[in-house]
Amino acid sequence: MRIRPGTTLHQPSRRLILAGGSALLVGAMSALGGRAVLAASAIHKTKIGEAEVTVISDGTFTLPQSLLLPGVDQAALDTLLKAHGATADFTVQTNVCVVRLGSTVALIDTGAGPDFMPTLGRFADRLGEAGIASDSITHVIFTHAHADHFWGVLDPFGDTSLWPKAKHVMALAERDFWFAPDAADKVPEFQKSMSVGIVRRLKALGDVITTAKPGDEIAPGLAFVATPGHTPGHVSVAIRSGTSECLVLGDALTHAAISFGAPSWRWGSDIDGEQAAATRARVLEDAARRKLAVIGYHLPWPGLGRVETSGSAYRFVQEAGK
């Protein structure tokens, strides 16, 4: 696996290091290619055509393998990880994208805010540190409503958006799923309390959340792409500028070794495992064939790379961006 370290454009402030404590330092370590890579920065800038994309870390978190890969064959997992030079470390990044294109300044997901995990919730502070004024945000776009992507939208002192002037957009199928009376029955056991929190926040935001469908252009050069399965209404976001294109994956591909090397394996965090696996197969085939740039929310910092075929599956080729 080729690795080029991200461009250091911005060092975390002393305040953030203190606030994040060891979480920031430990959290900046990502298991990639068998080596622990220290993220030099929590803010990474790249260009996709004319679009300026700033990836901002909301922090990191760790989930146990038993929740993420229930029933996985341990020997097969060990073999796969070894083949990718990776370790069984399920500490993941949370790579929030800010896209500036023309008159649009769009957030793609918002991080978790302060109420989900103590190692998350750094995004809103770091947005300012990246030199992006809060009142310049025109769109807040969600790939899905899970806590680590959606809860950071709320002002921690109330139930209003931190970006009240922006247009907030979520897939119609996603919003409808969570509002259905049986939503909590359909999610994995360990996500049941989170599902209650999702519904509470969606209700608090009310009409602030507008909806769109896969294929819809949210703003010039930004469109929803259907990638269901992780959640029923999960979408990725295509950034298109001239001949350049990047797919912001959300949670369509979450692990640099497993999602790429064994896309058919079932994840315990996917609501519809079969559909999520079919989505992975489709996204990987398409991204590899078109040599598409991708940005994964949980892929090794800053989550930017490409997909290459590798034997009968694929591998993630991390890029610092261009």
Task: By CB under 5 A, name the binding residues for Zn ion.
Answer: 148, 251
In which order are the strands placed within the sheet that holds 222-226? Answer: 217-219, 222-226, 235-241, 244-250, 293-296, 304-310, 313-318
The CA–CA distances, whole Å, from 121 to 16, 115, 223, 322 equal 11, 8, 26, 28
Q: Are 296 and 255 in contact (CB under 8 A)?
A: no
Our CB check for Zn ion shows the closer of 144 and 240 to be: 144
Minimum CB distance to Zn ion, residue 50 (Å): 28
Single-letter code of the amino acid located at 232: P
Rounded least distance, CB 198 to Zn ion, Å: 12
Q: Which is nearer to Zn ion, 45 or 255 (CB)?
A: 255
- Name the minimum Å distance from CB 220 to Zn ion: 27
Closest separation in Å from C-beta 254 to Zn ion: 7
User: In this complex, which beta carbon is closest to Zn ion, that of residue 54 or of residue 94?
Assistant: 94
Least Cβ distance, residue 64 to Zn ion (angstroms): 15
Tokens representing 167 are 């247009």
Which residue lies nearer to Zn ion by CB, 24 or 194? Answer: 194
How wide is the angle at C-alpha 289 spanned by C-alphas 285 and 295, nearest 5°?
A: 70
Q: Which is nearer to Zn ion, 148 or 245 (CB)?
A: 148
